Amino acid sequence: MTRPPDSSPSPAARLPARERLIFALDVADAVQARRLVEQLGEAVQFYKIGLELFMAGGYFELLDWLATRGKRIFVDLKFFDIPATVAAAVRQLRGRGVTFATVHGNQAIMQAAAGAKGDVKVLAVTVLTSLDRGDLDDLGFQCDVQQLVLSRARRALEAGCDGVVSSALEVAALRAAIDRRLLVVTPGVRPVDNRPGDDQKRVVSVTQAFQYGADYIVVGRPIRDAADPRAAAEDIQRQIAAALG
C-alpha cells in the first residue's frame, strides 16, 4: 500500500540560509581549487567536488584540507558498480567530514550505499539536469521526466538513502508525493539566463528552486566564471536569504 506523504518539515528546514548554497568546485586541479576556495572565503560554506578533481589527483588531500577549514563537503562521484564495491567505496568516506555522497544506480546499489554510509548522507541521482525529453527518448525511457524522477525518488527512500539530486522542475511534485524527510539537492540553478554553450537544459532561478521546495542548490559556472567570484557568490546568498525570508 502506498504511504501518504509526510507533512513534517524537511530535515533542512532549520538549516542556516548560508549553508544552502553548494558551490561546484569544477576546476582543473587541486591548486586551482584551493586558490578559489580562499578567494571565496566566507561567501561559500559548502563545496561539491566531483570527477574532474578526482581524476586530477590529490582528491582526498583536498577533501581533508576543506574539512580542516570547517567547510561542508559533497563528494559527487555518482558511485555505480556492483553493490559490494559501492558499499566499500562509501565506507571509505566515513569519518572524513563528508556531508553528502552520490550514487547513481539500481535498488541494490542504493541499498548497499545506504547500509555503508555511517555519518555520510547518501543522495541518489534521479535524472541528470543535462538531459531533456529527447535525451530520455534516445535512452529508451517511455515515461515522462517527472514520472521517472518520482519513481527513482521513491526507490531511493525505500533503499535507505537520505535524499536525491533532482532538477527543481520536479521538486514540487517530489514534495507532494514523497516523504518530506527526503532531502532534495538541486543542480542546474542559474542566477541569470543560460549562456551559449551551457550544457544544463532543465534550469531554474535561485528563487524558483526554493519556492519549489529545494533544500540546497548547486551552483558552479555562474560563480567560477564571474569577474569577481566572491561577489557573485554573495549575490546568490542574498537571493537565497530573500527566497527563504
Confidence check: pLDDT of 197 > 60 = no
- The pTM score is 0.87
Kind of pairing between the strands at 46-49 and 21-24 = parallel
Q: In order of start, what are the domains of the chain with their CATH numbers?
A: 17-244 (3.20.20.70)
Q: How confident is the model at residue 164 (pLDDT cuts 50, 70, 90)?
A: very high
The predicted model gives 165-171 an average pLDDT of: 87
Q: Give percent above pLDDT 90 in the chain.
A: 67
Catalytic residue among 48, 71, 78, 121: 78
The predicted model gives 42-67 an average pLDDT of: 97
The predicted model gives 68-81 an average pLDDT of: 97
Confidence check: pLDDT of 206 > 50 = yes
How confident is the model at residue 15, as a pLDDT? 87
Q: How confident is the model at residue 4 (pLDDT cuts 50, 70, 90)?
A: very low
Q: How confident is the model at residue 69 (pLDDT cuts 50, 70, 90)?
A: very high
Mean of per-residue pLDDT scores for the chain: 87
How confident is the model at residue 118, as a pLDDT? 98
The predicted model gives 208-223 an average pLDDT of: 94
The predicted model gives 171-198 an average pLDDT of: 77
How confident is the model at residue 194, as a pLDDT? 45
Q: How many residues does the chain have?
A: 245
Between the alpha carbon of residue 109 and those of residues 46, 57, 129, the distances in Å are 26, 26, 21
Q: Give percent above pLDDT 70 in the chain.
A: 82
The tens digit of pLDDT for each residue in 7-32 reads 555 667 788 999 999 999 999 999 99
Q: Is-catalytic flag, 121?
A: no
Confidence check: pLDDT of 133 > 70 = no
How confident is the model at residue 199, as a pLDDT? 46
Radius of gyration of the chain (CA): 17
Confidence check: pLDDT of 81 > 50 = yes
Measure the CA–CA gap between 121 and 98, rounded to whole angstroms: 8
How confident is the model at residue 190, as a pLDDT? 74
